[in-house]
Amino acid sequence: MINSIVFDLDGTLYLGGRIMEGAMDAVAALKRQRYQIFYLTNNSGKMRQQIVEKLNMFGFSANMRNTYCVSHGISLYLKEKKISSVYLIGTHDLRSELLLNDISVKDNSAVAAVVVGIDPLFSYEKIAVALDAIDRGAELIVANVDSSYPVENNRRLPGCGAMVAAIVSATGHAPDFQVGKPNTYMLELLCRDHGLSSEKICVIGDMPESDIKMANNFNCQGILFDPNGDFPHFADTKVKKLSEIIALLKKER
């Protein structure tokens, strides 16, 4: 029986600096029904602490135990694999998250791995250093392969996948590991941390190819949030309003 809800963030609970309609009420209603609430994002540009602060600014009760983001996930994966030095393509905040977890970030190709996150300052020079590192045997660890992500005013911005595609094209080397969705790594961390199993979890998100695919890969319930009807042919469970979630979950109980 499902007792824990894992929410995607961008495009589900908020969009840029705006909270999604009905998000606060939906989360509050789920808490009243005794569901545990977790937050899981593919955002590789911010530290986990920054994600927690943003959620709390909006009024969600977030902390370092119920919030999972790719930047922190990358750090944990590198430590698990005993990869201590990396060349980073990513933001200053991702660098800070890695350093916080004792990962050495170098500015040259003499490293054990190349880490790729979203990078607004992505450049030819960074591709060249990554190419040299991978040619010398470095692993390629990526945050995610999201081609774009939603922002306000019905706009999109290039996602981490755009950077990954350039590196893969230059090197001919596919990623050795993808930390973020639709990989199940972060859900596995969540379950390990909180003693949960796949049948106890429901993932709610706005992207079939990341959120729902992750849920399917993990063999847990997934609900697509599709407020604008962007996915008319999506055959699995979906809602147009977040307020519809409670009724769907009651059918599962």
Q: Binding site membership: which residues? A: 8, 10, 181, 206
Give φ, ψ of 30 to 5 degrees.
Answer: -65, -40
Q: Identify whether the C-beta of residue 202 lies closer than 8 Å to the C-beta of residue 246.
A: no
Q: Which DSSP letter does residue 209 get? A: I
Residues 6+ apart with CB under 8 A from 241: 21, 22, 227
Binding residues for substrate: 181
Residue 104 neighbours by CB distance under 10 Å: 12
Catalytic residue among 8, 119, 146, 211: 8
Catalytic residue among 10, 93, 146, 211: 10
Q: CA 101, 105, 110, 113 torsion: positive or negative?
A: positive
Binding residues for Mg(2+): 8, 10, 206
Q: Is 119 among the catalytic positions?
A: no
Q: Identify whether the C-beta of residue 73 lies closer than 8 Å to the C-beta of residue 180.
A: yes
Q: Is 10 among the catalytic positions?
A: yes
Active site residues: 8, 10
